Amino acid sequence: MNVFLILIFAIHSLFAAEVSVDACSNKARENPITKAFENCEKARAVSSADEFREYISKLDHTGYCALLTEPGMKKPDALEQLCADPNGFVCAHKQGLLLNSQCQFVHLEPEEINQTTEFLDIGCSFKKATQDFIGSHQNECEKGLTKEECESVLKIKYTQEINEIEIKIAYTPERIGRIKNAFNRVKQKYIQKIKASQLISKEQLPMILSRIENTQIDLPPKNTECANTPPTGPESGLYYHTGDHNVHICIGAMATLDHQNEIDLIHSFGHELSHAIDPCTLAQAFPSNPEIGTIAYGNLVQCLRGGKGDDGCTDSIIFCNTDKGVQEACEESASYRDDLKKPDSLDYQNFVKNCVQSKKQLNACPIAKSDLNLPTLNLASYRKTGEKISQLREVFSDYLGSEVAGDLISEDVKAGKLSRADRVDGMTALATDYAGLHGRCVTENTRDSHPAPFLRLNRIIMGSENFRQSIGCENGPPKTPGANMKCQGL
Amino acid sequence: MKNKLCILIITSIIILLPVTSRAASSLLPFRLEHYIPAMKKTIRIELNKEDSGNIEISYTAFQNGESKVSKKEFSPVIIKELFKKLQSNQDPNPEKWSSDPDCLINERWRLEFGSSKKEICTNKIRTDKIEKFQASIELLLRQ
């Protein structure tokens, strides 16, 4: 077998274990994720087959596998398999814990990011810098305080200054430069595509264009809620914030940027920028015209959902809200209100009635009772109980993000910057990233506002003809269950 | 002389401790819940007085139906400093808050302290101040 897929018995409980070792110690670096990256890098660098096998064997014990080829062996071409079923391809390899041939992999949970060399280095530098900062202010402490008490008092007094130290260490000019470059490329391409779009209604086009033009990236972070590390570990995501209309990057994502593939990064920004104009965001921005987000994109919404009826919700593949779900969400909302009395009171019932009326207009937004057991800190977590919930805004962003990313990838291919092997690596990185999100490698759609990964990858992302062609997929969309989508491009 | 010094120290402790403790204790037990939609994350911060006289801060984030907790005990003097962040912001014009977007009364924030259960703005504590308070607690509890 030419492709060495190093499949390891992933012991996730190892990652979940409480890690309180000193970030500056060598012991902290004795962990599966650091070893996986380290041995993958060594294996790809050696020219002797024996040495290669030795590192592969070590990698084998970390919980991850890698798409590497033994020196002297012919490199296999996995593109056709990736094109036919990207989710299936990566999930067949240790549930997607698969590093590509450049040892890139960014789908890391907080406990795993905590263990990466990059994050440990940030933690170690931060610890030293904090000690220096506190030492220089020690004379401000009242007499009689212990050293520990003085430290705590200064941490309270100078929280903002100390947090800024951590941000400065993690958000380096190099990392910010790479991110801004990728973000601006995506944004400019997006603007160009909207201007020439045959999909977007002419009436709404100026408004949609201006929303993309006004979306910025919050770097260096000023209003990013996850730019520092809370006691429970770093966040790893990037997200579009509907409050300030900007894209934000968490400290964990920044720390692991060196392991991120450029195609995956570009696609991520395409997705996040799309949230600025997704049907739900538009419905919320124009409450007097909640249908605006559906009308603006012709029949795209129905096509993405894949069901019958005007809205595409009947027997749809991508889920919509249900009446029962909206009712439950409004009752839940009412239960949080201290000013409303018991459920049988008139004011309570009026609140629920009005809520149901207004929320039913927002079919593009996910509305249902929340899952109190949702594991919120875990990327792979997903809503498991309750009624089906609208998944439109996520699939819309996946699709339009793919349309824009496709153009940029094609440009890079034409300019000779991306070889076929680079595209295999890009697709592998993107697929492993998605396969682990909100239901790692599940085989049925879920009750989460994000559809199951097999639908996002195989139906929506690979449903973009523009994206498929840029990668080099020549046999049409995947034919796996729920896939084979053919919608109009941007 | 040695005995007099001892008595002086003990008296000082007796006089000073209640003053320090009272400042911190008036807001105890304290419980803050904050839902961050962008992160889909709920944080719960609780401060409770221990038999030792110290105050335990517990910081909880929800994961997989189980609570992921970080806890640490602090002396009243630290808690006093912490509460200064909340108490130093009494705004003389609370009526203007109704139009202030920073003054959110919704499901994102739940706050209980002392013997009463009230919401943030009715207690004259603005959300930006609570965020600073939360940030200090997060820093204090880090490894």
The string of DSSP letters for B111-131 reads EEETTEE--TGGGT--HHHHH
- Supply B69's token pair: 């907790």
Q: Give percent of chain A above pLDDT 70.
A: 93
What pLDDT does residue A22 have? 84
Chain B residue numbers touching A152 (CB-CB < 8 A): 74, 78, 81, 140
pLDDT at B87: 64
Nearest to A156 among B63, B82, B107 (CB): B82
The CA-based angle A327-A319-A443, given to 5 degrees, is: 125
Higher pLDDT, A240 or B124: A240
- Over residues A243-255, the mean pLDDT reads 93
pLDDT at A377: 54
| Sign of the torsion formed by the C-alpha atoms of B50, B53, B54 and B55 | positive
Which pTM does this prediction carry? 0.87
Instruction: Enumerate residues 6+ apart whose C-beta is below 8 A from A52.
Output: A43, A46, A68, A70, A71
> Do A359 and A322 contact (CB within 8 A), yes or no?
no
Q: What angle do CA A212, A218, A221 make, to 5 degrees?
A: 175
Whether pLDDT at A167 is above 90: yes
Nearest CA in chain B to A144: B77
| CA-closest candidate to residue B34, choices B57, B65, B60 | B60
pLDDT tens digit sequence for A293-320: 889 999 999 999 999 998 999 999 999 9
A215/A197 Cα distance (integer angstroms):
19
Tokens 């071409």 found at: A77
pLDDT digits (tens, 9 = 90+) for B104-135: 444 566 667 665 544 444 445 566 777 888 99
**Average pLDDT, integer, range A355-369:** 92
Helix (H, G, I), strand (E, B) or coil at A198: coil
pLDDT of residue A438: 87
Classify residue B108 by burial, with Cβ atoms within 10 Å: 0-12, 13-18, 19+.
middle
Res B1 pLDDT > 60: no
Residue-level pLDDT at A370 = 75
- b/e string for A382-407 if b means 16 or more Cβ within 10 A? bbeebbbbbbbbbbbbbbbbbbbbbb
Where does A61-204 have alpha helices with state H?
Answer: 79-84, 86-91, 110-113, 117-137, 147-157, 159-170, 173-195
Beta carbons of A262 and A250 less than 8 angstroms apart: no
Chain B CB contacts of A375 under 8 Å are 62-65
pLDDT exceeds 80 at position B49: yes
What is the model's pLDDT at position A225?
86
* pLDDT for the residue B22: 54
Q: Where are the beta strands (DSSP E) in A307-462?
A: none
* Predicted pLDDT at B98: 40
Furthest C-alpha separation in chain A: 79
Q: At what angle do helices A173-195 and A262-274 cross, to 10 degrees?
A: 60
Q: What is the pLDDT of residue A13?
A: 30
Nearest CA in chain A to B35: A376
Partner-chain residue, chosen from B75, B132, B139, that has the shortest CB–CB distance to A155: B139
The nearest CA of chain B is from the CA of A194 a distance in Å of 26
Q: How are strands ordered across the β-sheet holding B30-36?
A: B66-74, B55-63, B41-49, B30-36, B109-113, B116-117
Asked whether residue A250 carries a pLDDT value surpassing 50, the answer given is: yes
Q: How far apart are CA A17 and CA A109, in angstroms?
A: 13
> CA of A256, closest CA in chain B: separation in Å?
18
- Sign (positive or negative) of CA dihedral A184, A244, B43, A279: negative
One DSSP character per residue, A275-328 reads GGGSHHHHHHH-TT-TTHHHHTTTTHHHHHHT-BSTTS-BT-SS----HHHHHH
A230–B59: do the CB atoms touch at under 8 Å?
A: yes
Hey, which bits of chain B come out as E strands? 30-36, 41-49, 55-63, 66-74, 109-113, 116-117
Tokens 């007085």 map to which residue? B49
Report the 10 Å Cβ neighbour count for A11. Answer: 12
- pLDDT attached to residue B84: 82
The residue in chain A having the minimum alpha-carbon distance to the alpha carbon of residue B83 is A156
User: Quick one: average pLDDT of A150-169?
Assistant: 96
Q: Do B40 and A376 touch (CB under 8 A)?
A: yes
What's the rounded Cα separation, in Å, for the pair A196 and A187? 14
End-to-end C-alpha distance for chain B, whole angstroms:
44
Tens digits of residue pLDDT in A79-137? 999 999 999 999 999 899 999 999 999 878 778 898 999 999 999 999 999 999 999 99
Q: How far apart are CA A25 and CA A120, in angstroms?
A: 9
> What is the rounded CA–CA span in Å between residue A193 and residue A490?
7
Distance, in Å, from the CA atom of B58 to the CA atom of A263, rounded to the nearest integer, reads 41
**What is the C-alpha to C-alpha distance for residues A168 and A147, in angstroms, rounded to an integer?**
26
Query: Does residue A65 carry a pLDDT above 60?
Result: yes
Q: Name the phi and psi angles at A469, rounded to 5.
A: -65, -35
Amino acid, res. A459: R
pLDDT in the model for residue A1: 31
Most confident among A214-218, A343-347, B20-24, B95-99 (mean pLDDT): A214-218
Chain B contact present for A374, CB below 8 A: yes
Instruction: Give pLDDT tens digits for A258-278.
Output: 999 999 999 999 999 999 999
- For chain B, say whether A137 makes contact (Cβ under 8 Å): no
Residue B4: φ, ψ to 5°: -60, -40
| Closest chain A residue to B138, measured at CA | A230
Looking at the DSSP bridge assignments, the partners of residue A98 are A65
Contacts A–B by Cβ distance under 8 A: 94
SS3 A256: coil
Q: Which amino acid appears at position B94 of this protein?
A: P
**pLDDT at residue B92 is higher than 80:** no
**Cα–Cα nearest to A39, from A55, A51, A60:** A55
Model pLDDT, residue B43: 85
What are φ and ψ of residue A108, in 5° steps? Answer: -120, 135
Give A293-296's long-range contacts (Cβ < 8 A, gap of 24+): A293/A364, A294/A363, A294/A364, A295/A201, A295/A204, A296/A200, A296/A201, A296/A204, A296/A208
- pLDDT surpasses 60 at A16: no
Lowest-confidence range among A95-99, A241-245, B85-89? B85-89
Instruction: With beta carbons less than 8 A apart as the criterion, state whether A56 and A68 touch.
Output: yes
Contacts of residue B121, defined as CB under 8 A and 6 or more positions apart, other chains included, come to B94, B97, B103, B104, B105
- The proportion of chain B whose per-residue pLDDT surpasses 90, expressed as a percent, equals 15
Tell me how far CA of residue A350 lies from CA of A332, A346, A357, in angstroms.
Answer: 14, 6, 11
A72 lies within 8 A of chain B by CB: no
Q: Is A266 helix (H, G, I), strand (E, B) or coil?
A: helix
Q: Verify whether the Cβ–Cβ distance A232 to B107 is below 8 Å.
A: no
- pLDDT tens digits along A364-400: 999 998 766 655 556 777 888 889 999 999 999 999 9
